[in-house]
Structure 1
Amino acid sequence: MPSYRIIVDLSDRQLYLLDGNKVVRGFPVGIGKMVTRTPTGEFTIINKQANPGGPYGAFWMGLSKPSYGIHGTNDPSSIGREVSRGCIRMYNQDVLALKDLVPVGTRVTIRP
């Protein structure tokens, strides 16, 4: 059974799925804009919700920092850019692939 964790690298706007210390997948992400930067640090996924509505795309994974999460988007052109209010945006097909691999409780490291 894999022990997955997630690293979000803000400098290259990528989310990496790791099994132990090995990168298994990489996904491009959109991150927080200058006035609402994505927080850095250690977090965990605390909840998951399909079709949350609004700008959150096909899926939401809430982080242990209130009001922040990893989610899909209804604006695919925002991926790779600094556009969000601090959340990590993914293409809908990517967030749907990721949610099947990571359970609630998965560790998420967000680094500058």
Structure 2
Amino acid sequence: MTSRAVSRRAALATLAATLTAPTLLRAQARPTVRRNTSSFSQQHWSDHFDSLGAAAIVADTTSRALHFWSGDGQDYRVYPTSVPISEELTKRGYTRVVRKKIGPDWTPTPSMLERNPDLHYMPPGPDNPLGTHAMYLSWPAYLIHGTHDTRKIGRPSSDGCIGLYNEMIAELYAITPVGAQVRII
């Protein structure tokens, strides 16, 4: 009876190996795409900028991640983000951080009011869509900011801005100088 159990186990192991071998071979033949545990595509600053300057940020709208490099290249961080809800609201290209504010207030843009006339000015606080910190870009009405609504992170949910969890925008805010270069891809 023992030899029969061993034979059955051996047969099952052989069957499992036979069934999984083609899958393993196909996986090995595919080019490797480097991703971290959160499925963010790894970025390198030199693929986007000639130099690091004061600091560099790449906001990847496809993988919904923001990549930060310090000016000396010693500090590299990746943050999950929200991204614009539609292609029409997505602005891509090069810009820079021109101003930073803790406790930003929020005023809806004219295009936001067109889509939703019930929107109104909001002072800093828990209902403010900009969260606790904001970094203003050289493009009018485009920001990197926090959010109190954590459901938005990892999703297309903004009207053009890049949103982070409040604790993460606070960290990014502290290490990002005004003048940091930004690329939205």
Q: How high is the TM-score relative to the length of structure 2?
A: 0.56
Give the counterpart of 1:47 among 77, 99, 104: 99
Distance in 2, Cα, partners of 1:108 & 1:28: 16
Structure 2 unaligned blocks of 5 or more = 1-52, 105-123
Amino-acid identity (%): 35
Q: Which has the higher strand share?
A: 1
Distance in 2, Cα, partners of 1:46 & 1:40: 17
Give the counterpart of 2:78 among 26, 31, 40: 26
Q: How many residues align?
A: 110
Whether the 8 Å contact between 1:36 and 1:85 is mirrored in structure 2 is no
Distance in 2, Cα, partners of 1:82 & 1:22: 31
Whether the 8 Å contact between 2:54 and 2:177 is mirrored in structure 1 is no
Distance in 1, Cα, partners of 2:86 & 2:63: 15
Give the counterpart of 1:87 among 155, 161, 167: 161
Q: Which has the higher helix share?
A: 2
Q: Larger relative CO (CA 8 A, sep 6+): 1 or 2?
A: 1
Kindly name which structure, 1 or 2, has the bigger radius of gyration based on alpha carbons. Answer: 2
Whether the 8 Å contact between 1:32 and 1:85 is mirrored in structure 2 is yes
In the alignment, does 2:87 pair up with 1:13?
no
Q: Following TM superposition, by how much is the alpha carbon of 1:43 offset from its aligned partner in structure 2, in angstroms?
A: 0.4
Give 3-state SS (helix, strand or coil) of 1:86's partner: coil
Distance in 2, Cα, partners of 1:38 & 1:79: 16
Q: After superposition, give the CA deviation of every residue in 1:27-83 in whole Å (9 maximum; x if it has no partner).
A: 000011116533100000011111112211010100000001000001011000001
Cα RMSD of the aligned pairs, angstroms, is: 1.8
Distance in 2, Cα, partners of 1:28 & 1:22: 20
Q: How high is the TM-score relative to the length of structure 1?
A: 0.90
Give the counterpart of 1:76 among 127, 132, 150: 150
Distance in 1, Cα, partners of 2:173 & 2:96: 13
Distance in 1, Cα, partners of 2:132 & 2:57: 19
